[in-house]
Amino acid sequence: MTAYSEADAEAGLARLIDLALCGEEVIIMRGGMPVAEILPIQAAQLIEGPTSYNLLRARRLARNGVGLTSVGLPNQLYEEGR
């Protein structure tokens, strides 16, 4: 895995896409935290695979959750600030 800052990703997006197409795992960081991943889309997925919505939904459901809701996160941030 190779991580790149948001600024590096902006400046060299074409190069990062080429790296992903070559099989390298490309992660984009913001403030030291991973926020995005660049992955190649397989040709078979484009032709025979699910729609982009279903593909993204399946990926989201396959990921491990963070255990917080949209209400819980601000509450936790507020409580830590006390």
Q: What is the sign, positive or negative, of the torsion defined by CA atoms of 70, 64, 35, 52?
A: negative
Instruction: Identify the pLDDT of residue 81.
Output: 64
- Residue 24 makes CB contacts below 8 A (sequence gap 6+) with 2
Each residue of 23-74: pLDDT tens digit? Answer: 888 999 998 899 999 888 775 455 555 567 778 888 888 887 777 777 887 8
pTM: 0.50
* Residue 79 included in any domain: no
* Residue 13 included in any domain: yes
State the total domains in the chain.
1
Range of the domain at 37: 2-64
* Residue 57 included in any domain: yes
The helix/strand/coil state of 9 is: helix
* Residue 37 included in any domain: yes
Confidence check: pLDDT of 78 > 90:
no
Instruction: Identify the pLDDT of residue 15.
Output: 93
Angle at 27 (CA atoms; ends 65, 16), nearest 5 degrees = 145
Tell me the CATH number at 8: 3.40.1620.10
Q: How far is CA 16 from CA 10, 24, 44, 58, 75, in A?
A: 10, 9, 22, 24, 36
